[in-house]
Amino acid sequence: MAMTGMRQATVGLGLLERTPPEAILREGAPPLLEAVPEHRRTAAIELAHWSYGAVAGTAFALVPRRLRRSRLAGPVYGVLSWGLFETVLAPALGLAHARRSRPGERWALLADHVFFGFVVGAGPEATVAGPSAQEDEGDERP
């Protein structure tokens, strides 16, 4: 959901013609969008993107904890999820934007996904500290 504001800004500034979820539903899976009443399509597109983001955010929890602890883990994960979309999913769905040069759009989407990564990747200070099940004697923790 946090990316919604970023995407609205990039579309409003003219950096992005169509959001990726809109492209998927209009070009890659039109029967799905046609099944949605026209006055509900904007909401359906947004919910599709939130669902994709929720799945990607949940998958971040599968990244080994030692890697997730890095402050860069979230942004790197965001960039990798965007790269997967650009190199695999968009061409597989036959999306028009996958076949043309669009450096401005790609930079805008890259920024969106770095932001997504900061949202899903909690920094070390965000970890809630608690008593360890195997604390060493004399190990004082704040």
pLDDT digits (tens, 9 = 90+) for 54-106: 888 888 888 898 888 888 999 999 999 888 888 888 888 777 777 777 788 88
Domain that holds residue 8: 2-123
The per-residue pLDDT for 135 is 47
Does residue 92 fall inside a structural domain? Answer: yes
The per-residue pLDDT for 134 is 47
Does residue 102 fall inside a structural domain? Answer: yes
**Using CA atoms, how far apart are residues 49 and 43, in angstroms rounded to an integer?**
10
What's 27's DSSP letter? I
| pLDDT digits 0-9 by tens, 98-122 | 777 778 888 888 888 888 888 888 6
Question: What is the number of domains present in the chain?
Answer: 1
Does residue 135 fall inside a structural domain? Answer: no
Does residue 139 fall inside a structural domain? Answer: no
Does residue 15 fall inside a structural domain? Answer: yes
**Using CA atoms, how far apart are residues 103 and 105, in angstroms rounded to an integer?**
6
pLDDT, the chain, mean: 77
Does residue 128 fall inside a structural domain? Answer: no
